[in-house]
Amino acid sequence: MSCLGGAETTEEKTRRSSLQKAKDLYFKRDLTAARQAFGKVLEDIGLPDGERAEAARKLARIEWRFNRDWGQAYSYLDEAARLGRISFPTTLERARILECQEKFKRALDTAREALSQAETSENRIKALTMIGRLLLLPNAGVPASQEAVKETLASLLPLLQDNRGRLEISRLAFGLALLSDDGAAALEAWRSYYWVPAKSNEISMGDGAANGWDYPILEGAHSVLSRQLPHWVGPASSRGARAAVVEALASARMFSEAAWLATDPRVSPSERVSSPEVVAYHQFLAAAEGTVNEYYRKRALGEGANQELHDGLMAAARPLWKSLHNDDPAAPFSYRQLVEEIGQRFGAYIYFQTHGDIRSLNMGHRISDRRQRIEQYGRTAEVRLIVLDSMVSNGYNTWFWDGEAAAGGWVDEEGSIVQVRPSYVDGPLRAWNRLTDPEDRSRIDKRIREHKREDDVRARSDRFAYLPGLALRLRRQAGQSLLAELRSRGLKGPDLKLAFITELSRRIQASSILAHEGRHALDLRDPMRNFFRSRAEKEFRAKLSEVALAPDPRIALTGGILSANIGDDSSHGQANLRIMKGLVRWMTENQGDIQGFDQSRPVLPQVDLLTDDQLREAFRSMDPWAK
């Protein structure tokens, strides 16, 4: 604000948006430009200390995640601590650096310090999940005493009740429960992770939706765990019971937990469960993940070569192959044979893509594999729909974004639609909290007010720019509309929450997977035309279907279209820019029909004035299939 207490000037608003511009550059994976932009924010003493502290943390993350410059990273965090009144995010970032340095004891102590500084439930969750992860790390050198494990589990379980289905909490609680021999808590955490209805009359999403129990592949594991875990006493359980649980966890794609139980050091070697293939596969997954992440780090810096990704994966697989073929040491080893064998034995799915000039790996494990009918504008196809979990790598972009965004799905060369379940599950629960939790709602309200002032400034300098305030307003509108719809049916309390999460999940999958990826699958049915289309053109067409055919076009628009990558050199960025131009054109031509439209303001920040039907019509106007 100006020193006289009046309205912000255009220059002041532009300066205040400099942090967002730096974040946008990072999202576009322009590491050099982002680093420079964050540096300018940090140096600008006219900006609020909180923004400068956030820029310092971003710079610290770049230094430790990409450059491995620990000293510079800590220096930036010291500056963030000096500037920021809120200590929690800086302390948690320091714990992450220590973990990466394999200074596990100090990392655990620092994560506990962050927990003591957490002032919101969300921050408590972040700190506790890190503490739990450190306690579960194999060979970390952290004394994972029963007391520490049980204390952390006891703190996580109440959060699990309020955040049922949230993946990281659920899986960590499951691991900690196994470690503390608490079978009842382990079963509840497992059911939470895979969204198994706690009661038979709970709402089920069905149709393979993101949070629903529609995973036949897991039914056998669920049956075994439901019988065994209520009577679980850890090492004192019979060998048969432990073997059944190990096998069930492996079939449920929880290979790290299965391998740990099979090699539980508390059990004498002669009484341990013999499961060498599961142990070898877990070791392969750990080696592959480390190899791939290091490859991504080097490529982000412009180092290394794409061939290193394939070579590193094959090198990590050789010990596994030897273990799987002990009876035939001469068994031929090739990439194709590896993919086929681990696909059959462990449900693995491997897919290579290219982002720009960087080779990327998507590797996870099938928990659903079924046929799905797709129909758009009179065109139909029956395709294979695969749902993945227990991801080893979700691609270069997801690794780069470090939890701030993630790939959700794709169509592979065979025309199969692939959905990454972890990219979908937590979002609806977070949306519920943003609407109903006073702390979350207040925080989002403040961000909406701040960004709304800045959106017009950004749009005046770039008519098609990414507008974070608009994205927040559209998400709020969509959430409020769904909440009102469900309340009108008489739902309240836990039933309302479950129905909201269930329906929002269904709507997100319907637009981003069935409509978007379904358009790609239909395009593939027209091979000649598809061959001559650029990747940006294919993404443009898929995004048009994603919104025009969505149960809620606002949700679809804010998923991967109204995004910080607008206009970058990626196929998605180019498609999103083309859509922004089409939206501005349609709104300009139809401004008389838009209630509340203000001709003195830029056009794009007023997208939230459109009705759902107007949004669909605007997107159909750009689609040759809809004409």
- Give the DSSP per-residue string, 2-55: -TTS-PPPHHHHHHHTHHHHHHHHHHTT-HHHHHHHHHHHHH-TTS-HHHHHHH
C-alpha–C-alpha distance, residues 38 and 20, integer Å: 10
Burial (Cβ within 10 Å: 0-12, 13-18, ≥19) of residue 380: exposed
Amino acid 138: pLDDT: 63
Asked if 134 and 101 count as a contact pair (C-beta separation under 8 A), the reply is no
Report residue 409 as tokens: 């799905």
**Cβ of 496: how many Cβ atoms within 10 Å?**
17
**Phi then psi dihedrals of residue 70, to 5 deg:** -65, -45
Give DSSP secondary structure letters for 433-483: HHHH-HHHHHHHHHHHHHHHHHHHHHHHH-TT---HHHHHHHHHHHHHHHH
Please count the residues of the chain. 627
Q: How far apart are CA 32 and CA 411, in angstroms?
A: 32
Q: For residue 528, what pLDDT is reported?
A: 66
How far apart, in Å, are the Cα atoms of 447 and each of 2, 9, 71, 246? 20, 19, 33, 47
Say if CB 524 and CB 557 are below 8 A apart.
no
- Whole-angstrom Cα distance, residue 370 to residue 380? 17
Terminal-residue alpha carbon distance, the chain: 49
Low-confidence ranges of the chain (pLDDT < 70): 1-16, 138-144, 197-213, 527-532
Cα torsion 192, 195, 197, 202 to 10°: value is 120
User: What sections of 163-275 are H helices per DSSP?
Assistant: 167-179, 183-193, 219-228, 239-251, 255-262
Q: Which of 1, 38, 19 is nearest to 458 (CA)?
A: 19
Amino acid identity of 341?
Answer: E
**Mind spelling out the 3-state secondary structure of 91-129?**
HHHHHHHHHHCCCHHHHHHHHHHHHHHCCCHHHHHHHHH
* Residue-level pLDDT at 440: 86
Type of residue found at 266? R
β pairing state of 379-394 and 409-411: unpaired
Which pLDDT value is given to residue 511? 96
Residues 6+ apart with CB under 8 A from 452: 469, 473, 605
pLDDT at 147: 86
Contact indicator for 111, 137 with CB cutoff of 8 Å:
no
Taking the C-alpha atoms of residue 34 and residue 29, their distance in angstroms, rounded to an integer, is 8
The pTM of the full predicted model, rounded to 2 decimals, is 0.91
In order, the DSSP letters of 204-218 are: ---TT-TTSS--GGG
Report the pLDDT value the prediction gives residue 233, as an integer from 0 to 100.
93
How would you label 418-437 residue by residue, b for 16+ Cβ within 10 Å and e otherwise?
bbbbbbbbbbbbebbbbbeb
Task: Show the tokens assigned to 50.
Answer: 């909180």
Structure tokens at 534: 């650029």
Q: What is the pLDDT of residue 144?
A: 62
Give the model's pLDDT for residue 92.
98
What's the alpha-carbon Rg for the chain, to the nearest Å? 25
The DSSP bridge pattern shows strands 358-376 and 379-394 to be antiparallel
